[in-house]
Amino acid sequence: MTWFSPAVGAGRTIDVLILGAGPAGAALALALKRAGVASVLLVDRSARPSLRMGESAAPGLNSLLRRLGLDDRLEGRGHRPCYGNLSLWGGPTPIVEEFATRADGPGWNLDREAFDAWLRAEAVARGATLESQARLAAVVRDGDGWRADIRTGERNLEVRSRWIVDASGRPAAFARRSGARLHRFDRLVALAVRVESAESRGFDGFSMIEAVEIGWWYAARLPGGKSAVALMTDMDIARETDLQSPDVFRQAWASTAEVRRFASLPDLALRPVLFAAGTQFIDRAIGPGWLALGDALVALDPLSASGVTGALEDAIAAAEAIIPLLGLESRGGEARNLRSAYCARANAMLTRYLVERRSIYRREKRWGSGRFWQRRAVI
């Protein structure tokens, strides 16, 4: 499907081409249009936001939406407020961490497909153009900008763009093509299912995490009477123990202390979907005429539950970097300073996150000899 705004057409010069219309790309398009950037083109390979994990948004989402000029009444759009986490971490007794005690308001259990589709639609309503089911077939540097060949199912589009932004998520497709190297910190994977959930089992309004010998479980209530349930472990452990097999997954679920009560096991055995969920980052955040943000820049362990809010924060920071850079020669000193500032922010964010990640994993000491926990005790 193609949505055209009059600002972007085939063979035209545009200001910013954004590869990927997930939360990071769509929010950046919104921020750029809000700041008056004339032409913004979003290119996404999928027709619509696909089934994905990432439904627990941290407190702070509402204020980010307001900063992007969006209506933050999420409950009215079917998302569920989440008041905290129940965690079995570091000991067998569930501990309640209530968000309500924080100044940022509640967290959210999102309908991710609906949330992502809404951000895309808002970007288009502000004047961005969205090419979905599209890919960047070729791209070359052209003076201070880029010449890009975009293929959709129906036709080829050639555009000249002053900036290209990599918001493609974990593939970091454009940044890697531009020479950035991807570093993987671990091989965490999520084995996930969605199940019907009975309401009022004493856990409503809370997400849950439960540490086990081979990793940890996550469960959250979703809008529409469903729950998301996932086991996070390392790829090699998942393979060796055949965790994707419905029976093995079911047995592991049945042996949890609390997750099995949070979301009852379905009658039929379900084959979990496997998602890459490890920490990864690229070694260049920005170059002449391009930058990366969201998961393309740094993808976080789901334990942080801040991928969505982080993507929106990145979008605001990326807009603040790109807007002045659009008016500058890429080789000038002022442009270099702006690029350094964007890098410094990314470095600081990654360092802060790695320190927090290590401290959370080290709090769990019950399975010191288990491979999953040993690996996290040293990094």
Ligand X SMILES: Cc1cc2nc3c(=O)[nH]c(=O)nc-3n(C[C@H](O)[C@H](O)[C@H](O)COP(=O)(O)OP(=O)(O)OC[C@H]3O[C@@H](n4cnc5c(N)ncnc54)[C@H](O)[C@@H]3O)c2cc1C
Please tell me whether residue 287 binds ligand X under the rule CB under 6 A. no
CB of 107 to ligand X, least distance (A): 9
Among the residue ranges 45-53, 84-92, 121-129, 256-264, the one whose residues contact ligand X (CB under 6 A): 45-53
Q: Which is nearer to ligand X, 169 or 289 (CB)?
A: 169
Please tell me whether residue 148 binds ligand X under the rule CB under 6 A. no
Among the residue ranges 1-9, 13-21, 235-243, 317-325, the one whose residues contact ligand X (CB under 6 A): 13-21
Please tell me whether residue 43 binds ligand X under the rule CB under 6 A. yes
CA distance 162 to 325: 10
User: Two tokens at 199?
Assistant: 């309401």
Please tell me whether residue 277 binds ligand X under the rule CB under 6 A. yes
Site string for ligand X, 290-329 (x = CB under 6 A): ----xxx-----x--xxxx--x------------------
> Which residues in 226-341 belong to E strands, given as ranges?
226-234, 273-276, 280-282, 286-287, 290-292, 298-299
Among positions 16, 29, 32, 57, the unique one binding ligand X when judged by CB under 6 A:
57
CB of 90 to ligand X, least distance (A): 20
Please tell me whether residue 237 binds ligand X under the rule CB under 6 A. no
CA distance 44 to 139: 15
Question: Which string of DSSP letters, residue by residue, matches 165-181?
Answer: EE---TT-HHHHHTTPP
* ∠ Cα 276 304 52 (to 5°): 40
Please tell me whether residue 161 binds ligand X under the rule CB under 6 A. no
CB of 130 to ligand X, least distance (A): 11
Please tell me whether residue 147 binds ligand X under the rule CB under 6 A. no
Q: Which is nearer to ligand X, 296 or 349 (CB)?
A: 296
Please tell me whether residue 259 binds ligand X under the rule CB under 6 A. no
Please tell me whether residue 130 binds ligand X under the rule CB under 6 A. no
Please tell me whether residue 168 binds ligand X under the rule CB under 6 A. yes
Q: Which is nearer to ligand X, 317 or 335 (CB)?
A: 317
Among positions 14, 16, 18, 21, the unique one binding ligand X when judged by CB under 6 A:
21
Q: List Cα–Cα distances, 5 to 69, 151, 295, in angstroms.
A: 20, 18, 27
CB of 8 to ligand X, least distance (A): 16
Among positions 15, 44, 122, 210, the unique one binding ligand X when judged by CB under 6 A:
44
At 46 the three-state DSSP class reads: coil
CA distance 80 to 223: 6
Among positions 5, 16, 18, 25, the unique one binding ligand X when judged by CB under 6 A:
25
CA distance 42 to 327: 21
CA distance 159 to 139: 10
The region that residue 18 occupies, defined by phi over 0 for left and psi between -120 and 50 for alpha, beta otherwise, is beta
Question: Which string of DSSP letters, residue by residue, matches 241-267?
Answer: TTTTSHHHHHHHHHT-SSHHHHSPPPS
Q: 283, 237 in Cβ contact below 8 A?
A: no
**Cross-strand partners of 234:** 188
Q: 131, 275 in Cβ contact below 8 A?
A: no
Judged by CB under 6 A, the number of residues near ligand X is 35
Among positions 45, 102, 226, 371, the unique one binding ligand X when judged by CB under 6 A:
45
Residues that bind ligand X in the complex, under the rule CB under 6 A: 19-25, 43-46, 52-57, 135, 167-169, 171, 173, 190, 275, 277, 294-296, 302, 305-308, 311
